[in-house]
């Protein structure tokens, strides 16, 4: 996008972005500039089947939004650097006078995912009132994306007894082993025999406002509240779409979290980063306010 304002090209690019999966791909690659990600990584993180993803990637490449390159046997996709720099300027021209929303913040994530090599495992307890939907999704994501550096558990203040079947079905479709998931009380993790937690993360506003048990070791707390997918939809398609939306929102937060250099961050910086992650797209008002559990 050189040579000034180009409305026709901008229209083509916005047409390519006018589909939720393609928009999710571009937003994901924006967090991994400039190196990009392989198609398999993209498919997993945005929860899109490989054959469908190929069509979306081709459309984005034709629109000039992304570029592909071969890396060994893999094809790596990255945000087109010229486009990434030019689109904000083009929008500023359209929406003159440009300006940033008051209080807007940006979460800076690592530009390249590197293999996790560590002798330390960080335990994360994800809390939600019913421990049937959001906390189960987050537990699954942290255990997969943490690759051994982070180990997740989930629980609820008033567990429903069984995980939501729509969420379990979605996880199974995405390749997770769902046999070990269960809905359980947070009291299981408050006793002396329970694993010592390094992080406590609430994903629903009601759990964030409740009086929690005493957690041994004084773990860091954060609130990543997102809307409850179990309250959305009357048809099977609508309910699945709500859970997929929750999965994608949690995937963005988990991806940011597991890539933090927690070993080298001081307490203040780590607390601030956890709060910033909680303000990512789709956050509840309580999470946007930076409240913690």
Q: Which residues carry out catalysis?
A: 128, 204, 212
> Do residues 287 and 279 lie in contact, with contact meaning Cβ atoms separated by under 8 Å?
yes
């Amino acid at each position: 996008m050189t040579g000034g304002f180009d409305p026709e090209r901008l229209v083509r690019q916005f047409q390519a972005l006018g589909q939720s999966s393609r928009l999710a791909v571009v937003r994901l690659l924006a967090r991994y500039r400039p190196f990009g990600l392989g198609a398999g990584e993209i498919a997993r993180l945005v929860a899109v089947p490989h054959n469908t993803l190929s069509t979306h990637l081709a459309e984005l490449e034709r629109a000039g939004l992304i570029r592909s390159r071969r890396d060994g046997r893999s094809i790596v996709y990255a945000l087109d650097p010229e486009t990434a720099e030019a689109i904000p300027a083009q929008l500023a021209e359209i929406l003159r006078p440009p300006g940033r929303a008051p209080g807007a913040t940006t979460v800076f994530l690592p530009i390249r995912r590197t293999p996790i090599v560590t002798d330390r495992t960080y335990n994360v307890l994800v809390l939600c009132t019913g421990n049937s939907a959001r906390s189960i999704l987050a537990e699954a994501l942290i255990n997969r994306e943490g690759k051994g550096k982070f180990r997740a558990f989930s629980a609820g203040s008033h567990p429903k007894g069984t995980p939501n079947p729509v969420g379990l079905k979605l996880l199974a479709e995405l390749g997770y082993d769902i046999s070990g998931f269960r809905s359980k009380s947070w009291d299981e993790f408050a006793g002396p025999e329970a694993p010592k937690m390094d992080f406590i993360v609430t994903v629903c506003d009601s759990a964030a406002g409740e009086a929690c048990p005493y957690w041994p070791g004084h773990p860091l707390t954060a609130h990543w509240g997102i809307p409850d997918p179990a309250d959305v939809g009357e048809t099977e398609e609508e309910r699945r779409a709500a859970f997929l939306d929750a999965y994608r929102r949690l995937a963005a937060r988990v991806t940011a979290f597991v890539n933090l250099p927690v070993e080298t961050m001081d307490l203040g910086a780590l607390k601030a980063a956890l709060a910033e992650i909680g303000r990512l797209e789709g956050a509840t008002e309580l999470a946007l306010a930076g409240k913690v559990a």
